A and B are shown apart, each in its own frame.
Chain A
Amino acid sequence: MVGQDSNHASVRTYWNLAGILCVITFIEWVIFKIEDLRTWSAFMLPTLIALSLAKLIMVCGWYMHLKYDHKLLTYVFGFSVFLTMMTFTILMLALR
């Protein structure tokens, strides 16, 4: 990276993450395919949210280099995600 530390992950790490991302997506698909689980929101909601969150952290942290970049970028992105979640929650509460 130019003007930054170039201490990015190795190619091997990128491939390992790709494998994990595929496995998580496969698990999500399997969970969805089990008909008894589909409507069990107490299980589906936290499980699928946790799996998606894991994927988001991996993509943002390693592929988008937030783990290695200037912390200011993490704050900019984190703050926007926080504001988005607030806006999302308010919209859902107001319109539902």
Chain B
Amino acid sequence: MVSDHEGALHATNTGIDNRKFGMWVLIASECFLFGTLIANYLVNRARGLSGPKAQEIYEIDITTLSTFDLLMSSVAMVLALHGCQNRDVGKFRFWTGIVVLGGVIFLGFQYYEFSHFVHNGLGLTTSIFGSSFYLLTGCHGLHVLAGVLWMSTILATSFVRGDKWFPDVPLEVAGLYWHFVDVVWIVIFTVVYLFVYI
């Protein structure tokens, strides 16, 4: 049985693995990034002098579906970690694959949404509303893409290194990142999309 942490775990003052603590520090800094991007959006959303307004082009039904998708990928993430920690390679790989699939589907929804908006006259430089919208949601989309690549790498590595490889800590760290991306989307879904008439 090859566990990723064997021989790699060092004693720390806090008892928390350094990789995991490092991810939490990254998440803390990411909070500021998305906090300022959301503030930027809220300040500028009504300032667009040209192009369509948010109320005219948002498609809440599609966005709700993509929210469901991302929430379900978070469930898949915890189940992948559960499978890994219980040394069940089948479940570990299956649920990791579902996480990747969920991320890809979310990116597909985002591609559709952006195409729809551009088709309806809202480009990146159409108005300050458009710029702040694409900056916020595009930045989140890039984070999802990074998560998809990360999880794909773990899945591919699992096949390369065989049925006895169980990356407990790397998968948990990747999972923290993935859940944080989900948390950010929960905020964006409410503040950007559901508050559109407020």
What is the interface of chain A, defined by CB distance below 8 A to chain B? 1-4, 6, 8, 11, 14-15, 17-18, 21-22, 25-26, 28-29, 31-33, 38-39, 41, 44-45, 48-49, 51-52, 55-56, 59-60, 62-64, 69-70, 72-73, 76-77, 79-81, 83-85, 87-88, 91-92, 95-96
Contacts and interface: CB of A to CB of B under 8 A. Distances in A.
Nearest to A45: B198
B179 interface: yes
Query: Main SS of chain B's interface residues?
Result: helix
B186 A77 contact: no
B95 to A, nearest CB: 11
Given A44-B198, A84-B34, A92-B43, 14 more contacts: A2-B168, A2-B172, A4-B15, A18-B71, A25-B71, A44-B194, A48-B194, A52-B190, A55-B71, A56-B183, A62-B78, A63-B175, A72-B14, A87-B35
Interface in B1-19: 5, 9, 12, 14-17
B76 to A, nearest CB: 9
A76 B24 CA distance: 7
* Cβ-closest 5 pairs across A and B: A80-B28, A84-B35, A91-B39, A38-B197, A18-B75
B66 to A, nearest CB: 11
Nearest to A55: B186
Most buried by A among B21, B36, B183: B183
19 contacts: A3-B9, A8-B82, A14-B75, A14-B78, A14-B79, A17-B75, A25-B71, A29-B60, A38-B197, A39-B197, A52-B187, A59-B182, A60-B183, A70-B14, A72-B14, A73-B16, A73-B20, A77-B31, A92-B39
Contacts of B36: 87-88, 91
Contacts of B34: 84
Nearest to B168: A2
Given A25-B71, A64-B179, A80 B32 contact: yes
Contacts of B127: none
B168 A28 contact: no
A70 to B, nearest CB: 5
Contacts of B15: 3-4, 70
Given A76-B25, A87-B35, A70 B79 contact: no
B72 interface: yes
A88 B39 contact: yes
